[in-house]
Amino acid sequence: MSYSEKYQQLENQIQELQKEVKRLKKEEADNRLPGGFNIDYVKKVIAGDTDYLDDAFDFSGTPQGYDYWGDIYNEIEPLRKKDIIQLQKWVIMYLEQNQK
């Protein structure tokens, strides 16, 4: 194998590792509770009352970001099934972390 082939092989491996690191960072971010998480308000949002969304958690501390949740709270966008699933995931994580 020539030097340039070895170099290219290393470059490819580095790129694959960088992709994996990026994927793992995203996964880690998805598996953290947002700041200010209030399970009681989140449960009300899951039940359909988005008036409590503003007090349920810190929007900017989520992978979706402030504008995403702000648009739902301000009724610019609807609360979708995928949002409810995310909220349920956070509730499960909260309960797992706070089991006695």
With a threshold of 0.85, does the pTM exceed it?
Answer: no
32/38 Cα distance (integer angstroms)? 14
pLDDT tens for each residue of 55-88: 999 999 898 999 999 999 999 999 999 999 999 9
Residue 93, pLDDT above cutoff 80 = yes
Q: How far is CA 92 from CA 22, 30, 96, 98, in A?
A: 25, 13, 6, 10
